[in-house]
Amino acid sequence: MVKKYKLVIFDLDGTLTDSAEGIVNSVQYALAKLGIVEDDRYKLRAFIGPPLMDSFQKNYDLSSQQAWQAVQYYREYFAVNGMFENKVYDGIPSLLNRLQNYGRLMAVATSKPGVYAEQILDHFNLLKYFDLVVGSNLDGSMTDKAQIIALVLKSFEYLPLDEMIMVGDRTHDVEGAQANGIDVVAVTYGYASEEEFLCSRPSYLVDTVYELEKLLG
């Protein structure tokens, strides 16, 4: 029987919301501003989840200065349009409502800037469910997932680590949770396949929001 965790920490993109359209559009806009034409939208899904600086450098061989400029262009589009080209996964509101009614504490830990994360959650009427939202800083600092999760845990340090669990859809969510000594459930309905988790070995693996609700409920 799965233990009843007192604190549930959620990733945002690919876990609570399907943000692919807005992120891909924002990346395309940023690349175009740099003179790079990218029509392969599926390729740009690699930007969902990891820190943007890392993604621009890794996928387009940009220098640090070029990648930082790309991030600024990305935000030009994202802050106005991209963050709202997004939708909540079916079943997430009822899951959060149920956990809240059960007295669970809930937080969001995302590599997305915290100010954007709060705006998105508020836009979709989900912010009311969370006791804490932690994201990266707009200056490009605090993008490491393990550090972000550590900040969440610091706010709930009165709880034992074995009463906390992370929910995410990418390997950096799994590895970030493991680095902090807490359990983690990987979801495959987001932007990773089950194969992505073969090496990271999450505590649990679920394919649907319904399975996630059964696990956490």
Q: Give residue 71's identity as a one-letter amino acid code.
A: V
Q: What does the pLDDT read at residue 1?
A: 52
Q: Are residues 27 and 101 in the same domain?
A: no
Q: Is residue 1 part of a domain?
A: no
Q: What does the pLDDT read at residue 64?
A: 96
Cα–Cα nearest to 130, from 142, 138, 122: 122
> What domain count does the chain have?
2
Q: Give residue 164's identity as a one-letter amino acid code.
A: M
Q: What CATH number does residue 145 fall under?
A: 3.40.50.1000
Taking a C-beta distance cutoff of 8 angstroms, is the pair 170, 190 a contact?
Answer: yes
Q: Helix or strand or coil: residue 201? A: coil
Q: Are residues 71 and 92 in the same domain?
A: no
Taking a C-beta distance cutoff of 8 angstroms, is the pair 191, 202 a contact?
Answer: no
Q: What does the pLDDT read at residue 63?
A: 97
Q: Are residues 78 and 109 in the same domain?
A: no
Helix (H) or strand (E) holding 112: strand 105-113
> Cα–Cα distance between 102 and 190 in angstroms, integer?
25
DSSP state letter for 35: T
Domain boundary among 69, 84, 99: 84
Q: What CATH number does residue 37 fall under?
A: 1.10.150.240
Q: Are residues 73 and 93 in the same domain?
A: no
What values do phi and psi take at 184, rounded to 5? -150, 140
* Average pLDDT per block of 10 residues along the chain, 217 residues long: 88 97 98 98 91 95 97 97 97 98 98 96 98 95 95 98 97 97 96 84 96 95
Q: Are residues 112 and 63 in the same domain?
A: no
What values do phi and psi take at 19, rounded to 5? -105, 10
Q: Is residue 114 part of a domain?
A: yes
Domain boundary among 58, 84, 110: 84
The domain containing residue 196 runs over which residues? Answer: 7-18+87-216
Q: Are residues 117 and 189 in the same domain?
A: yes
**Is there a catalytic annotation at residue 162?**
no
Quickly tell me which residue has 């943007």 as its tokens. Answer: 52
Q: Is residue 92 part of a domain?
A: yes
pTM confidence score: 0.93
Q: Are residues 121 and 154 in the same domain?
A: yes
Q: Check 11, 13, 18, 169 and give the catalytic one.
A: 11
Q: Are residues 50 and 35 in the same domain?
A: yes
Q: Are residues 170 and 96 in the same domain?
A: yes
